[in-house]
Amino acid sequence: MMDMEKKYFQPEFETMPVDEIKKLQDEKLVKQVCYVYDNVKYYRDLMDKKGVSPLDIKGTEDLHKLPFICKDDLREAYPYGLLATDVKNCVRIHSTSGTTGKRVVAFYTQNDVDMWEDCCARAITAAGGTEHDVVQVAYGYGLFTGGAGIHGGSHKAGCLTLPMSSGNTERQIQFMMDLNATILCCTPSYAAYIGETLHEKGFKPEDNKLKAGIFGAEPWTEEMRRDIENKLGIKAYDIYGLTEISGPGVAFECEEQNGMHINEDHFIAEIIDPDTGETLPLGSKGELVFTSLDKEAFPLLRYRTRDICVLSREKCSCGRTFVKMTKPLGRSDDMMIIRGVNVFPSQIEAVLLNSGYAPNYQIIVDRVNNTDTFDINVEMNPDDFSDTPKAITSKEKKLRNAMKAMLGINPNVHLVSPKSIARSEGKAVRVIDNRKRLGINI
Ligand code: DLL
């Protein structure tokens, strides 16, 4: 039986009546807009250009008057242009990939970290995490928000935290078994891989002490959920988030396992038509847009996530009143998530151009044994055509290292004959994502 006191991490917010949430959002929004206008020149210019003054924003119904902000703005303002406080007040930076190579950097004050960790603690508590639990954090630690966010949330939820980071599956399994991990947190594909390795080693689901998993950072299907649940003998919960807004925990699943509650006391969610920018009513499928309500270092108003989903305010049996989002159902841009890492074709193009290649390339992604495969075919320069196989291999290696430096993951690079990649009369087919056959919404 779940300890009732521990059903929610912050019940005063998580179960707040909907009209009170709205009131809280109204009040916080007015303050946040003034704060942003006063402290961020980039926003002041955007708002002035749109003819909106902070005085026009009296509550959430005025949200639509504010301009959008998107990844390109973050790139333009890199690195300090959207910072709303002095760097000396910041205690942390995290980062994710941007559209053309420049990474997005997000800053946090101590209050921002606290708020973010509270969100992650809510997710861990919703998955049954208490002081009796051992949380194995197998998300990457470092610039990626996965490790740090869940780690902080696990501390706050009072769990014993195992900061494994990702990789080294042998060690993951040894610690999982020896230290009686009860909650596993990692990307769903890594969870499936761990499950498979356990199975290959002859372990049965009942041999481990795991009871739950909190998996996110990349798209996964219901089939994958059942597979992971069966292999590990656990209940698998989805978790959503993005670096720009804080990291994991912007939204999290409860015991219903049917959509993720958005932490509405800290973020307002909207759904817009990705083509027109028009705000769509609840229940419509469209692009998810977030407005932060109390961030100090890196507040974003109407940030376009490019994730396509649907919001619903149907009463949830868990008692939480926060609006729910479906899993992302696709993207309105060309970002791919490969082995949990965000990859844009434009980054690959930038590496090719910097390395002296023409941008004639094709990316082929697939998932084999629960692991993403990542191949890039690149047309060699006509002069290189007569190179020895050894020289070509060495060029491929050089290009692969440059890709790794840009993307953070290693693709297989294949130099192919000049003019061998099909030319297209319309939009070039740069990406062949065979994971779609598995039903994954890339
Ligand atoms: O992936 C934060 C995170 C870490 C979330 C750990 C959950 C767990 P970014 O690297 O900035 O942040 O990537 C954000 O990843 O816009 C979505 O497209 C995708 N994404 C995140 N969570 C999910 C999920 C982290 N549960 C981008 N399902 C987002 C599908 C997800 N896609």
pLDDT at 1: 45
Into which CATH architecture does domain 336-438 fall? 2-Layer Sandwich (3.30)
Q: Does the reported pTM lie above 0.85?
A: yes
Tell me which CATH code domain 1-332 carries. 3.40.50.12780
- As a whole number, mean pLDDT of residues 55-61 equals 98
Nearest CA, atom 18, ligand 1 = 307
Whether the CB of 152 sits within 6 Å of ligand 1: no
How many C-beta atoms lie closer than 10 Å to residue 316's C-beta? 18
Whether the CB of 219 sits within 6 Å of ligand 1: yes
> Across the strands, what pairs with 303?
69, 290
**Minimum-distance ligand 1 atom for the alpha carbon of 441:** 30
- In the chain, where does the domain assigned CATH 3.40.50.12780 lie? 1-332
Q: At what angle do helices 169-178 and 188-200 cross, to 10 degrees?
A: 80
- Which of the listed residues 342, 343, 441 should we mutate to test ligand 1's pocket, taking the one with most ligand atoms within 8 A of CB? 342
Contact predicate 52/65, CB 8 Å? yes
pLDDT band at 435 (very low <50, low <70, confident <90, very high): very high
Whether the CB of 408 sits within 6 Å of ligand 1: no
57 Cα: distance to centroid of ligand 1 (angstroms): 30
Residue 346 has pLDDT above 90, yes or no: no
Q: Which class for 317: exposed (0-12), middle (13-18), buried (19 or more C-beta within 10 A)?
A: exposed
Collapse the DSSP code of 110 into the 3-class scheme (helix H, G, I; strand E, B; otherwise coil) and give the result: helix
Distance (Å, whole) CA 388 – CA 151: 50
Per residue in 283-304, pLDDT tens? 999 999 999 999 999 999 999 9
Out of 21-35, 377-391, 428-442, least confident range: 428-442
DSSP letter at 160 equals E
Collapse the DSSP code of 32 into the 3-class scheme (helix H, G, I; strand E, B; otherwise coil) and give the result: helix
- In the chain, where does the domain assigned CATH 3.30.300.30 lie? 336-438
Whether the CB of 305 sits within 6 Å of ligand 1: yes
CA proximity to 407, closest of 89, 31, 161, 99: 99
Residue 436 has pLDDT above 90, yes or no: no
CA proximity to 108, closest of 261, 245, 236, 278: 245
Per residue in 301-343, pLDDT tens? 999 999 999 999 999 999 999 999 999 998 888 899 999 899 9
Whether the CB of 109 sits within 6 Å of ligand 1: no
Per residue in 157-211, pLDDT tens? 999 999 999 999 999 999 999 999 999 999 998 999 899 999 999 999 999 999 9
Per residue in 2-47, pLDDT tens? 444 589 999 999 999 999 999 999 999 999 999 999 999 999 999 9
Q: Convert 14-26 to b/e letters by CB count within 10 Å (16 or more is b).
A: bebeeeebbebbb
Q: What is the DSSP string of 175-238?
A: HHHHTT--EEEE-HHHHHHHHHHHHHTT--GGGS---EEEEESS---HHHHHHHHHHHTSEEEE
Residue 95 φ then ψ, to 5°:
-150, 155
Strands 285-292 and 104-109, how do they pair?
unpaired
Query: ∠ CA 48-49-50 to the nearest 5 degrees?
Result: 90
